[in-house]
Amino acid sequence: MIYAFAQLSIRDRDTLGAYRAKAAEALARHGGTVVAAGPATLLEGDAPAPDTAAPLGFPHRAAALAWIP
């Protein structure tokens, strides 16, 4: 198992549902799963935190790399 980390800044909540559906399809095509997801909290530093953060799991490195556009 290998993991990627997604950070999302949501600009248009009206289109979020459609984005989630397309993202889920793309993730599934490459054997990926959302391990967890939720609001991001910045623990250190002063960079702006994304709206949502999610670790993504893939069965192997090649699958994760194939998922990246």
pLDDT, tens digit (0-9, with 9 covering 90-100), for 16-53: 999 999 999 999 999 999 999 999 888 999 988 899 99
Give the pLDDT confidence score for residue 42 in this predicted structure. 87
Select from 30, 37, 32 the least CA-distant residue to 7: 37
pTM over 0.85: no
The total number of structural domains in the chain stands at: 1
Give the pLDDT confidence score for residue 50 in this predicted structure. 92
Dihedral sign for Cα atoms in the order 63, 49, 10, 53 = positive
Domain that holds residue 29: 2-41+50-67
Report phi then psi at 25, rounded to 5.
-65, -45
Place of tokens 């967890």: 36
